[in-house]
Structure 1
Amino acid sequence: MAALRDILVVFLFALGGFSTLSALCPPGWKNWHQSCYAMFFDRMSWADASKFCDIKQSHLVVPNSQAENDFFWRMMTERFETVKRRRVWIGCKRESANSSFECAGNTERMSFTNWAPGYPEQGDPQCVVLSKGLGTWKTNNCARSPFYNYVVCEMPNTPRVHCLRADSNGRFVTDIP
């Protein structure tokens, strides 16, 4: 019976019945953990930035941990070496001074924050930015043009299926592009 099972396994592998998964991000996007990130040098209001990311089937970046915030900050500092005003919208805002900040894709209160000293400021509405200096968060007016900021979009990375072919001896063939 074991010999029949071994033959069946070799036969299935010979037909190429094996696949693996890896993460895939669109061209120009950077993969980190389970998300893809893209930074754009367009400056716009928070609402326009949010729509911009929606069009790209993503959302404004929302760091959920210190590690993700640090990754995002490093990516920002690498890309904006020569840019003077280096603030990027984060997908969190509040509608009024009495409300809590809410983040893209999440109606619950923020579970992670990285506020700079003295922030968040009072006022309404307030949108969140990451400042290049120390990687801390500040608040900006969501729509006034002097406060237009750059955009980073985030999306879940999608699994990519790789099919592996086996030769007649059950060994994987490596001629797959």
Structure 2
Amino acid sequence: MSPEIIVFFVAMGWPTSQAAICPTGWLRFGETCYLVVTTPLTWGDASRECHTKKAELVLPQCQTEQDAIWEMFLQIYHGNPSKHIWIGCSDIEEEGKWHPCPLRSSSSDAYQNWKDDQPDNDLNGNADCAAMINGAGGRWGDRGCTERHFSACQLPADTDTALSFCLQVGTEGRLASPSCLVDHVVKELPVRGVVECGKACRSEPRCRSFNLLEEGPETMLCQLNNVARRQVEGEDSIPKLQNCYFFEM
């Protein structure tokens, strides 16, 4: 994007802002991205699988996050996951010392969600890895690390990735009359500026372009489109619309 266009948006009251971005196929909750792994793996293999993606096994830090992760699996398995879900906690290094999640009896303020009778070190003392238990609403229990279960990886959402997108200009290099792509919107959301809308487009796998509609002095609507301009025919697809601007990634 040229400097002139950046200055134009700031002058119009459309300040740049940041929106958290996750890799394709990952789900975002807050400022964290999650990848649901539905291939049953041992705890060690699940951890290594996450590391190959520069991520870690999930470990909820509050009940809200716990509920969000559990809900991801419920949606995939229609409310009934067939296996447990590994989380990033174990006492492999020292028996009885669970790291980095605390026990229910711990004086730590860190979040924990153990079942009432867990961990119980069953399986002849070999239950050394923690999982969300499918028959307990996702509450935690200790399991044998060589068992094969589902898992999920987590990594911080990207808020620093540089974006580039194009704004339509006229033949003289000036901003073209306001216009937007119609009939191809797959998602709408309120935003604070063009950068936030662009990042929303980048984080939506279906998005190929976006419209930014100024609804008021500080109110903007971001419309994500599932096609680029070259995929539509005729000027009727991008009509002139007041206070609406079309961008391509």
Q: What is residue 38 of structure 2 aligned with on the other side? A: 41
**AA matched with 1:127:** C
Contact persistence 1:116–1:137 (CA under 8 A): yes
Q: What is residue 175 of structure 1 aligned with on the other side? A: 246
Contact persistence 1:97–1:125 (CA under 8 A): no
Say which SS state the counterpart of residue 158 (structure 1) adopts.
coil
Change (3 A) 1:11 1:119: closer
Aligned length: 158
Matched, 1:141 2:110: no
Q: What is residue 218 of structure 2 aligned with on the other side? A: none
1:74 to 71, 84, 87: 71
Say which SS state the counterpart of residue 175 (structure 1) adopts.
strand
Asked which structure has the greater RCO (Cα within 8 Å, sep 6+), the reply is 1
The CA deviation at 1:99 is: 2.2
Change (3 A) 1:63 1:54: same
> Larger strand proportion, structure 1 or 2?
1
Contact persistence 1:19–1:161 (CA under 8 A): no
List runs of 5+ in structure 2 lacking aligned partners: 102-107, 168-173, 177-213, 215-242
Contact persistence 2:32–2:156 (CA under 8 A): yes
Moved more, 69-78 or 117-126: 117-126
Contact persistence 1:36–1:157 (CA under 8 A): yes
Say which SS state the counterpart of residue 24 (structure 1) adopts.
coil
Matched, 1:132 2:134: yes
**Aligned partners of 2:132, 2:116: CA distance in 1, in Å?**
13
**AA matched with 2:21:** L
Q: What is residue 100 of structure 1 aligned with on the other side? A: 98
How big is each residue's C-alpha offset from its partner over 1:87-129, in whole Å with a ceiling of 9 and x where there is no partner? 11001101243423325xxxxx781111112101123461100
The CA deviation at 1:135 is: 1.8
How big is each residue's C-alpha offset from its partner over 1:57-85, in whole Å with a ceiling of 9 and x where there is no partner? 11100100000000011111111238663
Give me the CA root mean square deviation: 3.2
Contact persistence 1:20–1:163 (CA under 8 A): no
Q: What is residue 117 of structure 1 aligned with on the other side? A: 116
**AA matched with 2:97:** S
Change (3 A) 1:27 1:12: closer
**Aligned partners of 2:139, 2:97: CA distance in 1, in Å?**
21
How big is each residue's C-alpha offset from its partner over 1:132-159, in whole Å with a ceiling of 9 and x where there is no partner? 331211110112xxx2111211111101
**Aligned partners of 2:100, 2:5: CA distance in 1, in Å?**
54
When the two structures are superposed, what TM-score results if normalisation uses the length of structure 1?
0.75
Contact persistence 1:88–1:150 (CA under 8 A): yes
**AA matched with 1:138:** G
Say which SS state the counterpart of residue 174 (structure 1) adopts.
strand
Contact persistence 1:90–1:129 (CA under 8 A): yes
